[in-house]
Amino acid sequence: MASLRDTVKDYQDELRDGIAWVAFWKQGRSWNAEYFHLDMDDTLYPEDRSRLEEIKSTDPAAVILNGYYCGHLGEDMSLDELTAGVRYHYENSMNDIDGFIGAHDDRLPPEVIEEARAAAHEAGLPFSEKPYRDGEDFDPYVFDGRQSYEDYELMHRMMNEERSRQMAEPILSGYLSNLGKYTEGRPAGEWVTFPTTAEHLKEVFDRIGIDFKHYEEWHFTEFQSPIPGLTEHLSEYSHPDELNYLGKLLEMQFDDDREKFIAAIEYGDHADSLQDIINLAQNLDCYWLYPSVHSEEEYGHYLVDELEEPELSDEVKRYFMYEEYGRDASINDDGMFTEKGYIYNNRNTFTEWYDGRDVPQEYRVTPQPPQRSRPDPEKEDFDAAAMQPALAAEPRPVIPIIPTADTSDGKLKEITAHLERGITELFDSERYADYLRVMSKFPTYSLRNTVLIAMQAPDATHVMGFKAWKDPLINRHVKADEKGIRIIAPTEKTIRKQVEKLDPDTQQPIIGADGKPVTEVQEIKIPKFIVVSVFDVAQTE
């Protein structure tokens, strides 16, 4: 049997400091006690309310006390004085359980709850007794007693229906058009939803007249996607295989990944091309996303209140400048506030899974022109391409663009200047047919490189680098005195840069003994473009 003094002794620190509310009750002749904390908004947690109701049923005279808010108690009192204070409250029915629950219970009155419940059920919606405020955590997979079990099941049925609806909604669609008929003024096209199958795309090709005899060229005239900003990075020359690759990656995303992907598209550091976006979809672990944070002030509160960076007392938090702190942190992160929340690059390694050339075989769906059977497909394909100029009219000679600059940057500027003039010439003259012919032969090349090829070698059918032609599978060699066709290719430049050294666990700058960030020299790869030479199959033997 525990005396009141012994029970108070176990909880005297909580009573003196006011760090918790302590309930006292009798069970037979034995005294009992238990402490409780309130939620951030000064309300009871549902499980604490249930526990207090159990205590009340055990001892209707039970009281709940706090040294800051209740009389006859104080931080300078001795154990005997605290015991006398608790006894005074208990014997005079002061600060009883019912009053405490009524003061700190955020539930609505019963009649209001029943009226709202009836209205929700009439509309076929689940009902929760406690409305959730903006920013408040809500886990739909935890049954917390705020809904009846029937409402909880209804909520999950509706969640599954919504998820099914979203999965049924096309992630990415493009209007595929027969380019030949389009230029003839007889448009023929059809919407294609990605991901798709090779069988379905072949049926689309047949319906719009791509037969690889009279018509073998296609392009996209329009794109649609429920993902904001995605279609802005697609062009009419986007290849169906790449679109199918991207569509399959997006189809496999979970809800959280989809939200992060949308925010990363808006963030934009890997969203300049379809190749970038395919890689971005596979590197979402390089970003942190805080969905509940949409402003500098909210970011400051998140860092201080949730992550405890820095760790502050409640007294200091009253005067803390959250907005300024969140602004400085977002600048340091180089982050962005998006519709989906706050996002920044966490500096994990970004892996280039897709090089922009070789779409994995399982995602390829584009029909190929019919070819005769042959023992060695790759070798005879190139041999056949090499024979075509001899069977047909003699191809026009290659007229290369020869840069005069000594540096790679200078050469790139010269090629770019030629490219600008070439675009004007192609689209303002009868040579537009040359460009269309070249584009149909090189569907995976960029717009600028197809223009450059059309300018220098309008009859080109298959181009590769000098060393690539020497591959044993191809076994061809560039003829002597042949001039290369200049195009633009991506590469990387490695530079050494002084950067702040980061802690491998926290990813925060390491501070030295002088109070300043420790720095180190790192090698950083910077993407750039250079001028390279390629040769047409007609230039080889």
Provide the sign of the torsion angle of the four alpha carbons 466, 467, 470, 474, taken in this order: negative
Q: What is the pLDDT of residue 378?
A: 52
pLDDT single digits (tens) 159-195: 777 766 655 678 899 999 998 888 788 889 999 999 9
The pLDDT-based confidence of 214 (bands split at 50, 70, 90) is confident
| Contacts of 350-358 spanning 24+ positions with Cβ under 8 A | 350/270, 350/279, 350/283, 350/286, 351/279, 351/282, 351/283, 352/279, 353/278, 353/279, 353/282, 353/283, 354/245, 354/275, 354/278, 354/279, 354/282, 355/275, 356/273, 356/275, 356/490, 357/444
Which of 497, 474, 238, 228 has its CA nearest to residue 465?
474
- Write the DSSP assignment of 245-303 as a string of letters: HHHHHHHT--HHHHHHHHHHHHH-TT-SSHHHHHHHTT-GGGEEEETT--SHHHHHHII
Highest average pLDDT, of 374-388, 423-437, 512-526, comes from 512-526
- Write the DSSP assignment of 113-135 as a string of letters: HHHHHHHHHHTT----SSPPPTT
Q: What is the pLDDT of residue 191?
A: 94
Please give the Cα distance from 518 to 490 (Å, whole number): 34
Q: What is the pLDDT of residue 47?
A: 85
Which of 403, 383, 388, 530 has its CA nearest to residue 469?
383
Residue bearing the bigger pLDDT, 137 or 486: 486
Residues 6+ apart with CB under 8 A from 218: 176, 177, 178, 179, 205, 208, 210
Which of 477, 424, 425, 484 has its CA nearest to residue 460?
484
Is 455 in a helix, a strand, or coil? helix
Q: What is the pLDDT of residue 527?
A: 76
Q: What is the pLDDT of residue 18?
A: 84
Highest average pLDDT, of 8-22, 137-151, 393-407, comes from 8-22
The pLDDT-based confidence of 371 (bands split at 50, 70, 90) is low
213 DSSP assignment:
S
- Asked, as a colleague might, if the bond just before 195 is cis with ω within 30 of 0, I would say yes
Task: Report the residue count for the chain.
Answer: 541
Mean residue pLDDT of the chain comes to: 85
Indicate if the pLDDT at residue 304 is higher than 70. yes
Q: What average pLDDT does range 53-78 have in this prediction? A: 92
The pLDDT-based confidence of 502 (bands split at 50, 70, 90) is confident
Indicate if the pLDDT at residue 142 is higher than 60. yes
Indicate if the pLDDT at residue 524 is higher than 80. no
Lay out the sheet containing 485-500: strands in order across.
463-464, 519-536, 485-500
Indicate if the pLDDT at residue 430 is higher than 90. no
Q: What is the pLDDT of residue 339?
A: 93
Which of 106, 32, 21 has its CA nearest to residue 67?
21
Q: What average pLDDT does range 357-383 have in this prediction? A: 71
HEC-encoded secondary structure of 3-34:
CHHHHHHHCHHHHHHCCCEEEEEEECCEEEEE
pLDDT single digits (tens) 384-427: 555 554 444 567 787 878 777 777 777 888 888 888 777 776 66
Please give the Cα distance from 429 to 436 (Å, whole number): 13
* Whole-number percent of the chain with pLDDT over 90: 37
Q: Which helix (H) or strand (E) holds 422?
A: helix 408-427
pLDDT single digits (tens) 81-96: 999 999 999 999 999 9
Q: What is the pLDDT of residue 392?
A: 46
The pLDDT-based confidence of 296 (bands split at 50, 70, 90) is very high
Is 191 in a helix, a strand, or coil? strand
Torsion of CA 78, 83, 88, 91, to 10 degrees: 180
